Structures are given as structure tokens and as C-alpha cells.
Structure 1
Amino acid sequence: MKIMNVEFVISAVRPDQYPVDALPEFALAGRSNVGKSSLINKMIMRKGLARTSSQPGKTQQLNYYRVNDEVYLVDFPGYGYAKVSKVQRAQFGTMIETFLSDREPLKMVFLIIDIRHEPSVDDCLMYDWLKHYEIPVCVVTTKADKIPKSKWDKHVKMVKKKLGFQTGDYHVLFSSETGLGRDELWAIINQTIAETSEEAEETEEVSIEK
């Protein structure tokens, strides 16, 4: 996908702060410091728009990035960081559950997993949460450049087994350093947008016929 323009729109914490232009949204969820911001920067080909930090737990809102005036990438707060207070964790949980349970423009969640490590309990809970709400999910195993290519299949199998990965969900191997997986993720985004547009048109046609 050719990136023509990208804009950071808002850091939202409540539904009344979410954008109202109804553009399709693709959210990124994952543990603190798993590389969500780096992935966004590689996706949009901008080095510093999504701020990266060595301090886990820095992102505490839903950060909206509008790409080509066609789609939003939504960066979730990272989860699983022990130094974040219990109150903050509860607030994050409520914010994310509210978003996931009732956000019509949300088309898919990218669940970001560090390929070097077995998914955490929080990763598994997030995956189960997405399946409960019947939200399409793409598991993105990132930091692929950190392990030998010969070990990719073994680590991907480990991740899928731990998550209970279901047939029909997407998986993409990704590296923010090399750009591996970038085109594949954009293809999934474009395909999902096209499919949901077709479904909406079909629903509208049925309503008109009735």
C-alpha cells in the first residue's frame, strides 16, 4: 500500500472521544514493549509518528492514526506490565472491553506476540476475549529478525499451540527491522475492508427489497 498521508488524530479514553467518521478501524493489542508502535511506524513508513519507548506501560490511551483518509490504526495500551498500578490496569481493562464490545467500525484486531517467547497468560486471555466477542483476529508474530529463519516454523507452532489458534484466523510473521510481513498485513487490511463493504452493500440491497 502506498502511503500518501498519515495523521495522528487523538488519544482517546472514552467512547465520546472516538472518531465519528466511521472509517474502518484495525486495532493493535499486545504486551507492553512487544513492539506495537514500531510495527505501526513500519506499516505507515514513518520513523517516529508512533512513539516508541523503552519504558513499558507508556501508552495509556487508544491512539488513533488515520492513514490515507481511508483507515485507522488504533494502538491499544500494552498489558501485563507489573509496575502499572492495579487501578490503572483496571481502567485499561474497562476501556478496552468497552471498545471491543461495542465499536462498530472495528474490523479486526492484530494480536502482537513476540515470536521469541511463549504467549503469556494475558496474551491467551486477549485472544479468548476476541473470540468471545467474535472479532476477527490476526496474530502477528513480530521480532522475527531476532531469531534464525530456520527456527521460525518451530516458534510459530509454539505460539499457535499456546493460544489455541483457531482455523480461519490470520497469522503474519513480522519484523519492524526488515519490513517482513508489512505487505501481507496491508493486503489483509484491504481485503477485510473490501469484504465488509460488500457485506454492507448486500445488507442494504436486502433492506431495500423488503
Structure 2
Amino acid sequence: MSEIKDIAKFHIFSSAYFASAVNKNQYVTDGRKEIAFIGRSNVGKSSLINSLCGRRKLAYVSREPGKTRTINYYAIQSRRTVDEVEQRQDWYLVDLPGYGFAKTSQENKDNWSAFIDEYMRKSPGLTMIGLLVDLRHPGLPIDKKAYDWLKTVAPDLLIIGTKGDKLSRNELHKNLAQLKKLFPTNHAPIAYSSLT
């Protein structure tokens, strides 16, 4: 089952910061579905969250890589109308710490990696991971390493290309095709720009 296709049919009408977790005892476990975003530091996770929710400052956008150091939950309310009947779905959008941030100790990197891995394996509501990859640099080894790891822990995986607005149309299509080849999943990769 494709959670992303199901969720995409719904219009987000409410979004709010809900909670942050720094250890497993703080995971949200109220039964709602969770879709989590992960990617290299400064790949555009916070901008994507703000754009999806139609909010400018829901998730803090920093010019400083590695700013997100907690697992942040955003409570989402969405709805759609089918045969004149309104359907609602409440879920969490989860912002995970970025990887590949150079200006921190190896101990911190190891701790963050273990923390995120534990969330992936033990969070009961997690239904999909969105791996964000900068479309200008679709084949970075650090992204491939993250992909290889996520294939072993993610219940479902979607590749999201960011910063496509900085490419020409031809470059965009070429790099999306490269993403599909380098990071095969059950879903075609998508390009997303927070500017459109």
C-alpha cells in the first residue's frame, strides 16, 4: 500500500508543532500515522515542511547546517471529499536530524545515527520515510549510504529531489532519471521545490 499516494489525496488544513524527542521515551505513540523526512544537512527539509503545510515558520529554516538535532513532530489535519462525503485524516509529519554535518564531533554523529536508527525501527506509527536528495548533486556517496541503510529499516521509502528550481528543465529531467536509477524504490522519485 502506498501511504504517500493516500496522504497526497488529502488537503492539509491545519498544522502545528506537536513535540520533540531526544530519546525513545519521548516518541509519540498515540496511534496516528507518521511520515518522516530525512536528508543531508541543509537539503531543505524544513522548507519542504513549511511549503507542504502552507506555513512560513512552522519548521525553523536555518542557514546553519545541522540545526535540527531532535526528532520534531508536527500534527497534521487533512481532509478530502469523496462522493460529497468529507473524509478526514490526522497524522504526524516528522522532521529528522540531517546527516553529514561536518562541524560536530564523531561522538555526536554516532549518537545521532543511533538515535535515528532506533526511531526507524521502534516507532509504531511510522509508515513512510521521505529521503530528500539535492537534485543538483544526485549521486553523492553520503546519500547512497543513507539510502542503503534506509532500505533495511524504512517501512516504505520515497525519494524526494529538492532544489530543482535551480536547474534547467532538461537538467531536472536528467537528474530525476539518475535518481530513479541510483535509488530504486516502489515509487518514482519526485521533484519538489518550496518556491512553487
Match of 2:34 among 1, 17, 25: 25
- Measured after TM superposition, the shift of residue 134 of structure 1 is 5.0
2:61 corresponds, among 46, 52, 60, to: 52
Query: Is 1:65–2:74 an aligned residue pair?
Result: yes
Aligned to 2:5: none
Runs of at least 5 residues in structure 2 that lack an aligned partner in the other structure: 1-9, 78-88
Shift of 1:169: 2.9
For 1:119, the equivalent position in structure 2 comes to 139
Whether the 8 Å CA contact 1:115–1:144 is kept in 2: the answer is yes
Counterpart CA distance in 1 for 2:96 and 2:154 is 18
Query: In the aligned structure 2, how far is the partner of 1:144 from the partner of 1:50?
Result: 21
Distance in 1 separating the partners of 2:98 and 2:192: 18
Contact kept in structure 2, 1:130 and 1:136, CA below 8 Å: no
CA distance in 2, matches of 1:144, 1:51: 21
Query: Matches of 2:59 and 2:110 in 1, distance apart?
Result: 24
Mean Cα deviation higher: 145-154 or 26-35? 145-154
How far 1:5 sits from its partner (Å)?
A: 1.9
| Distance in 2 between residues matched to 1:177 and 1:98, nearest whole Å | 33
Q: Which residue pairs with 1:177 in the alignment? A: 195
Q: Distance in 1 between matches of 2:142 and 2:99?
A: 7
1:101 and 2:121 equivalent?
A: yes
Where does residue 80 of structure 2 map in the other structure? none
Q: Secondary structure at the residue paired with 1:128?
A: helix
User: Percent of pairs identical after alignment?
Assistant: 38
**1 or 2, which has the higher strand percentage?**
2
For the aligned residue pairs, the C-alpha RMSD in angstroms reads 1.5
In the alignment, the residues of structure 1 paired with residue 139 and residue 76 of structure 2 have an alpha-carbon distance, to the nearest angstrom, of: 30
Q: Is the 8 A contact 2:27 2:123 kept in 1?
A: no
Code of the aligned partner of 1:148:
S
Q: Name which of 95, 103, 106 aligns with 1:83.
A: 103
Distance 1:158 1:172 in 2: 12
Q: Secondary structure at the match of 2:43?
A: coil
Q: Secondary structure at the match of 2:172?
A: helix
Residues 103-134 of structure 1 deviation map (CA, whole Å, 9 limit, x = unaligned): 22100000000101133222112211221125
- Separation in 2 of the partners of 1:161 and 1:4? 35
- Give the drift of 1:20: 2.2
Pair 134,44 (structure 1): closer, same or farther in 2 beyond 3 Å: closer
Deviation of residue 8 (structure 1)?
A: 0.5
Distance 2:110 2:154 in 1: 23
Select between 30-39 and 20-29 the one with higher mean Cα deviation.
Answer: 20-29
Counterpart in 2 of 1:148?
Answer: 168
Distance 2:62 2:153 in 1: 31
Post-superposition offset of 1:142: 1.1
* Matched residue, 2:48: 39
Which has the bigger relative contact order, CA under 8 A and spacing at least 6?
2
